[in-house]
C-alpha cells in the first residue's frame, strides 16, 4: 500500500487550546482519568500515554473558539461520566437492525467492548480481515501500528482523548486487489446512563481493493424511547485508501434522545483512489461530526453525501474539511439538513485547494429545510483556493415547505400531514437513495417516514 505523508495537511486539524498546569481543565482531566484507568501493554500503551500527555495540557472547546462558536458544550460539563464496561446481563436484550446483506459480516461493540456473541464474520472472502484489535495475530498487530492514530488531526482534543483510552478497536483490512462484495457492518451500541464509551475503528484498503462499510452508532432502547439516559459517545474512525482503491462508507448516528455524540472521521486518499461517504445524523441531544479528507496523491475522487434530520431541541454540528493537495483531484459534496421545532443545525464545510493542486474540480452544496419558525441553521460553505487553473463552486440554500406545493397535494386528496411527509421524504431521499445497501436504505426511508416530530401530528 502506497500512502504518502502530505506536506500540506488539513489546516488547523491539530488545533486545540493548550493551558498551563495551573489552568488545566479539571473536567477534562477527570474524563481522562476515567478512560485511562484500564492499562494495556507494549506499543498500544505507549500510544495511549502519548495522547494522554497531550490531553492533560488541553481544554474542552468553548463557543469563544471559531470552530465551536455555534456548539456550546457547557451542558456536557454538567454530567460526571464514568467508564462502564459491557453489562453482560443485558447483552441478550440488546436490539439492533441486522442488515440482510451483512448478516454474516458484522462486528458489534457494546459500551465500547467487543461482543463476540452478537458478531458474525463467517461470510467473508479470503484477503480481508474483520476483527477487533485484541483478536488480531501478532503480525497483524504490527501492521496496524503503522496506521492506528497516525491520521492528520490526531491531537484534536476529543480525538486524543479517544486515543488515550484505546483498549480495543474494530479493524477492517482489505488486502491488495481484493474486491469485497459483501458489506461490512460495524455496530457500536451505547446507552448506560452517565457513561462514556469511545469506539475506535481502523479501515485500511490496500492498492486496487474495494470494500463497502456501514458504521452505525445506536442506543439499545431506540432513539425515540422515553427511557433513554444521558451518556457520551466519543468515536474516532480512520480510513486509509490506497492507490486505485475504492471505499464506500456509510455512517449512521441515531443515538438516544439525551445522548452526546462526538465523532471524528479521518480519511487519507492515495493516488487514483475513490472514497464515498454517506453520513446520516438522526439522534443525540447534541452531536458533532468532524469529517476530514486528506489527499495524498494525484487524481483522487471524493464524494460526500450528508443528511441531518433533527427536531425538538437537538443540536447537530457537521464540520468537514477536504484538503486537495495534488493535481486532477475531484470532490463533490452535498449536505442536507431537515430541522424542526427548536432544533439547531450547523454546517461548516471547507475545501482547500493550494497552488500545487492544479486542474482540481470541486463542488460543495448545503441545502436546508426548516419546518418551523423557531428552527435554526447556521451554514458556512468555504473554498480556500490559491491554485489558478481549477473549477470550483460552492453554495447554500435555506428554505421552508412551500404552501403552494402542500396545497397542490391537498387538491389531489392528500391531507396536510401526508403532504408534508411526502415533501420531507423527497428532500431526504436524494441522499438516502445513494446508499449502496438496499436494506439500510429501506430502514432509513421508513424511519424518516415515521418521524412524527417532523409533521403536525
Cβ neighbours, 10 Å, residue 176: 14
Residues 210 and 245: beta-carbon distance below 8 Å: yes
Query: Where do the DSSP E strands lie in 137-231?
Result: 170-174, 184-190, 195-197, 200-205, 210-219
> Which are the contacts of 139, defined by CB distance < 8 A and separation ≥ 6?
none
Phi, psi of 208 (to 5 degrees): 75, 5
pLDDT tens, position by position, 14-43 = 544 444 444 568 999 999 999 999 999 999
The upper half-sphere exposure of residue 395, i.e. CA atoms within 13 Å in the direction of its Cβ, equals 4
Determine the pLDDT at residue 84: 77
- The residue with cell 460539563 is 77
Q: What is the mean pLDDT of each run of 10 residues along the chain (457 residues)?
A: 43 50 77 94 96 96 96 96 69 78 95 92 92 95 96 95 97 98 96 90 98 93 58 97 98 95 98 98 97 98 98 97 97 98 97 97 97 96 94 95 91 91 95 98 93 65
Strands (E), 242-314: 246-254, 260-269, 274-281, 286-295, 301-310
Residue 373 has what pLDDT? 93
Which residues in 44-83 are b (16+ Cβ under 10 Å) and which e? beebbeebbebbbebbbbeeeeebbebbebeebeebebeb
216-234 exposure pattern, b = at least 16 Cβ within 10 A, e = fewer: bbbbbbbbbeeebbbbbbb
Helices 42-55 & 157-164, crossing angle to 10 degrees? 140
The whole model's pTM is what?
Answer: 0.93
Alpha carbons 3 and 81: distance in angstroms, whole number: 38
Which residues have CB under 8 Å from 242's CB, separation 6+?
1, 2, 3, 176, 204, 205, 206, 207, 208, 209, 270, 273
Q: How many CA atoms lie within 13 A of 102 on its CB side?
A: 28
What integer pLDDT is reported at residue 92 of this predicted model?
59
Measure the CA dihedral 110/154/164/47, to 10°. 110
Residue that has been written with the C-alpha cell 423557531 in this structure: 374
Amino acid at each position: 500500500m502506497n500512502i504518502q505523508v502530505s506536506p500540506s495537511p488539513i489546516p488547523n486539524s491539530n488545533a486545540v487550546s493548550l493551558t498551563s498546569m495551573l489552568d488545566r481543565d479539571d473536567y477534562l482531566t477527570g474524563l481522562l482519568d476515567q478512560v485511562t484507568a484500564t492499562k494495556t501493554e507494549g506499543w498500544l500503551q505507549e500510544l495511549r500515554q502519548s495522547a494522554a500527555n497531550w490531553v492533560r495540557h488541553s481544554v474542552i472547546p468553548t463557543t469563544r473558539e471559531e470552530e465551536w462558536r455555534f456548539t456550546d458544550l457547557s451542558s456536557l460539563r454538567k454530567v460526571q461520566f464514568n467508564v462502564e464496561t459491557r453489562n453482560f446481563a443485558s447483552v441478550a436484550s440488546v436490539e439492533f437492525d441486522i442488515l440482510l446483506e451483512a448478516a454474516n459480516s458484522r462486528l458489534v461493540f457494546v459500551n465500547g467492548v467487543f461482543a463476540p456473541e452478537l458478531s458474525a464474520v463467517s461470510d467473508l472472502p479470503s484477503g480481508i480481515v474483520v476483527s477487533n484489535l485484541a483478536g488480531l495475530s501478532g503480525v497483524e498487530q504490527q501492521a496496524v501500528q503503522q496506521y492506528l492514530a497516525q491520521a492528520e488531526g490526531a491531537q484534536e482534543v476529543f480525538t486524543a482523548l479517544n486515543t488515550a483510552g484505546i483498549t480495543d478497536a474494530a479493524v477492517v483490512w482489505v488486502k491488495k486487489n481484493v474486491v469485497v462484495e459483501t458489506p461490512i457492518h460495524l455496530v457500536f451500541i451505547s446507552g448506560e446512563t452517565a457513561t462514556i464509551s469511545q469506539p475506535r475503528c481502523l479501515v485500511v484498503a490496500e492498492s486496487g481493493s474495494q470494500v463497502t462499510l456501514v458504521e452505525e452508532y445506536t442506543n439499545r432502547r431506540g432513539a425515540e424511547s422515553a427511557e433513554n439516559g444521558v451518556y457520551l459517545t466519543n468515536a474516532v474512525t480512520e480510513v486509509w485508501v490506497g492507490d486505485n482503491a475504492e471505499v464506500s462508507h456509510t455512517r449512521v448516528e441515531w443515538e438516544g434522545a439525551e445522548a452526546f455524540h462526538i465523532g471524528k472521521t479521518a480519511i487519507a486518499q492515495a493516488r487514483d483512489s475513490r472514497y464515498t461517504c454517506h453520513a446520516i445524523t438522526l439522534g443525540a441531544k447534541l452531536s458533532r461530526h468532524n469529517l476530514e479528507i486528506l489527499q495524498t496523491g494525484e487524481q483522487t475522487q471524493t464524494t460526500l453525501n450528508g443528511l441531518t434530520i433533527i427536531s425538538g431541541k437537538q443540536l447537530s454540528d457537521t464540520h468537514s474539511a477536504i484538503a486537495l493537495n495534488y493535481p486532477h483531484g475531484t470532490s463533490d459534496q452535498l449536505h442536507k439538513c431537515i430541522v424542526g421545532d427548536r432544533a439547531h443545525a450547523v454546517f461548516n464545510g471547507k475545501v482547500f485547494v493550494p497552488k500545487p493542486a492544479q486542474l482540481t474540480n470541486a463542488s460543495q452544496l448545503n441545502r436546508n429545510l426548516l419546518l418551523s419558525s423557531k428552527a435554526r441553521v447556521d451554514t458556512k460553505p468555504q473554498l480556500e483556493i490559491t491554485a489558478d487553473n481549477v473549477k470550483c463552486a460552492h453554495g447554500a440554500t435555506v428554505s421552508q415547505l412551500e404552501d403552494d406545493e402542500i396545497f397542490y397535494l391537498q387538491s389531489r386528496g392528500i391531507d396536510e400531514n401526508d403532504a408534508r411527509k411526502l415533501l420531507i421524504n423527497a428532500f431526504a431521499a436524494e441522499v438516502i437513495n445513494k446508499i449502496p445497501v438496499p436494506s439500510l436504505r429501506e430502514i432509513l426511508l421508513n424511519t424518516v417516514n415515521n418521524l412524527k416530530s417532523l409533521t403536525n401530528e
